[in-house]
Chain A
């Protein structure tokens, strides 16, 4: 079945790198996404990666995809206090427009 798992909490010091991990179960996933939810707001798309890619970089964000292990990670370089939020991993399949979300990882950035 479809399932996306993430650790619930991560705490880092300002200026360090953050790595948020996600595992998914459906090997037919076509796109994998990272969404960010700031307090009191809805989710916003941060970045996505197509399943035939291994890596995608976008400024301070690096997404790594290990399709063999069904493992997705989001690395945030030079983490800032404004990066404190909940980060959701999500997958979608070609055959469906449905997104399956993980439970979210709460990132706390300490000054």
Chain B
């Protein structure tokens, strides 16, 4: 089954404790991206990657890091989480074609105390 898998789905942590949210896709997509969803703000892009070892900042990259060492994986790293990073996070992937359907994971709800 074609899917984007994120882990963990739910996490409560404390300020400053490094965490990683993993993302994996099995569709051989070149493009992967992380979004955060906040009430009234919709989805905002954090980082994206067009291929292995190619990553770039989205609209709200501050406080986040990513890596793309393999095509299928695109982890999101919060080196020192803060309460304003409490949010619902989505990983997504797509082929680099014109119609560009974006496939989303089920989301990771992160709370930083």
Contact = CB atoms under 8 A, between A and B. Distances in A.
Contacts of B105: 42
B104 A31 contact: no
A21 interface: no
Interface in B36-57: 40-45, 48, 50
Contacts, number: 52
Contact of A31 (B96, B100, B106): B100
B106 A97 contact: no
A77 interface: no
Contacts of B41: 103
A97 B94 contact: yes
A97 B100 contact: yes
7 contacts: A31-B100, A35-B102, A42-B90, A42-B92, A43-B43, A48-B99, A97-B48
Interface in A80-100: 88, 92, 94, 97-99
